[in-house]
Structure 1
Amino acid sequence: MEEIVDRRIIRTKQMLRKALMELIEQKGYDGISVSQLTEKAGLNRGTFYLHYRDLQDLLDKCADYMLEGWMNVLKNFNPLEVHNSKYLNEPNPQIVEIYEYFKQNSWFFKVILGPKGDPSFPSRMKRAMRDHLERNRVKLQLKDEDFLVPSDYIHEYVLSVNMGILQHWFETDMSKTPEEVAIISTRLAQLGPLASSGVEKLREPNKPWSHLKG
């Protein structure tokens, strides 16, 4: 019986999260009331207040839930594998898993990062990612003197590039598969923007770029 109740609670929360995102996409967060939300979800107001204080509490907990899921995917990611040259032409499975997570939960991320979403959420994503990068630095036993440039600049570069790729992917309706985006992000990480765009080929015409597929 307890298991049935737990499943009902999980389902109720999922319905409220999805209804919230649909309404934000339609009206923007400021245009939503609890009554509109519960009507959209097919639930009553009493059920809503069993789980959340107000709409902001729902939005915050929804964001926490999604960020926790993202961090769980990143937990086993090996940053050293990003520089494995074989992934210039084939997708890195660990990076594919990350983009699969965003695709499966695009109903949330696409809206929250969109024009009617929560403007503070990208900062929350960056904070979570910054903590993850710092944990990796400790795990790999990298010291400040090991860095060619200050670590905070590296963190900001990684954060900005990956957030930009993710937002562009959503803005283009995820027209590329997670596998294709994994290769794109790997090429940018390994080759940098100049070599990835072919500009370096103009300077070094004999550079063997032909092994990279378009």
Structure 2
Amino acid sequence: MSDRKEELDRRVKRTRRVIRDALVALIREKGFESITVQEIAARADVNRSTFYFHYRDKLDLLEQSTEEMLEAFKEALQVPSEQAKACTFTGIASATRHFVHIAEHADFYRVMLREVGLPCFSKQMKRAIEETFYQKFDTAQTDEREAQAPREILVAYVASAHFGLIEWWLDHDLRYSASYMVEVLNRLVKFGPLHAPSLDEALRA
């Protein structure tokens, strides 16, 4: 890829990012239904023609933004094949990376899971987590007969707990670090909520 093409791609990504950030900020202030394209463009400091070059309307902006963020979330969840067998069930390597991703885009996730409350977005996040856990089961070649519950139930339980921790973390202003949240999640999955050992205070943010 040429330097010129790389610079163009960076500019496009930067423009789309500021437009998306403007949408998120305005949704928090006044709700999605009340927002106009002009307000989004003004908040992003771009003209309307720039907005319409990237999006048809505000609904298209919302849909594309959620799709792009969901893809980034899925990518952050993935574990490199050479690390997969060494990971615990939740996968510290990937889980830390995707908790970091959540932190970097905390305003977006708060808005989409709370202010807008998109059911399809939360369901897709949960499905992405479930799919990742299924892959880890397969990679680790876990014998389902040795598990405490059928694979489908275990994966559903862990995915729901995982997603619940993400929501709690966002609701409490990222009180703990990404690595701390992953450690908590792993211990809860491994030992259960009543028997998980306490974490060293040094792990806290």
Structure 1 length-normalised TM: 0.78
Distance of aligned partners of 1:121 and 1:20 in 2 relative to their CA distance in 1, 3 Å threshold: same
CA contact (8 A) 2:85 2:140 kept: no
Distance of aligned partners of 1:52 and 1:115 in 2 relative to their CA distance in 1, 3 Å threshold: closer
Identity %: 29
Distance of aligned partners of 1:134 and 1:213 in 2 relative to their CA distance in 1, 3 Å threshold: closer
Distance of aligned partners of 1:35 and 1:185 in 2 relative to their CA distance in 1, 3 Å threshold: same
Counterparts of 1:157 and 1:129 in 2: how far apart (Å)? Answer: 11
CA contact (8 A) 2:102 2:109 kept: yes
CA contact (8 A) 1:82 1:189 kept: no
Does structure 1 residue 82 correspond to structure 2 residue 88? yes
Counterparts of 1:82 and 1:68 in 2: how far apart (Å)? Answer: 23
Distance of aligned partners of 1:93 and 1:125 in 2 relative to their CA distance in 1, 3 Å threshold: closer
**Deviation (angstroms), 1:161:** 0.3
Q: CA RMSD in A?
A: 2.7
**Count of residues in Structure 1 that have an aligned counterpart in Structure 2:** 195
Within 5 A, what are the aligned runs for 1:10-49?
10-49=13-52
CA contact (8 A) 2:110 2:170 kept: yes
Within 5 A, what are the aligned runs for 1:119-130?
119-130=119-130
The C-alpha deviation readout for 1:93-121, integer Å capped at 9, x for no partner, is 54322211111121211221224443331
For CA contacts below 8 A with separation 6 or more, give which structure has more relative contact order.
1
* Gapped regions of structure 2 (runs ≥ 5): none
Give the stretch that moved more between structures: 168-177 or 21-30: 21-30
Counterpart secondary structure, 2:175: coil
Distance of aligned partners of 1:15 and 1:76 in 2 relative to their CA distance in 1, 3 Å threshold: same
Within 5 A, what are the aligned runs for 1:171-210?
171-196=171-196
Within 5 A, what are the aligned runs for 1:52-201?
52-76=55-79, 78=84, 81-82=87-88, 92-141=92-141, 148-196=148-196
Distance of aligned partners of 1:44 and 1:138 in 2 relative to their CA distance in 1, 3 Å threshold: same
**Deviation (angstroms), 1:83:** 5.9
The C-alpha deviation readout for 1:123-180, integer Å capped at 9, x for no partner, is 1211222333333344445576665523222222112101110111111111111122
Counterparts of 2:34 and 2:183 in 1: how far apart (Å)? Answer: 39
The C-alpha deviation readout for 1:26-51, integer Å capped at 9, x for no partner, is 12222222111111111122111111
Counterparts of 2:140 and 2:188 in 1: how far apart (Å)? Answer: 22
Counterparts of 1:155 and 1:149 in 2: how far apart (Å)? Answer: 9
Counterparts of 1:162 and 1:79 in 2: how far apart (Å)? Answer: 20
Counterparts of 2:101 and 2:63 in 1: how far apart (Å)? Answer: 19
Distance of aligned partners of 1:79 and 1:184 in 2 relative to their CA distance in 1, 3 Å threshold: farther
Counterparts of 2:152 and 2:194 in 1: how far apart (Å)? Answer: 22
Structure 2 length-normalised TM: 0.81
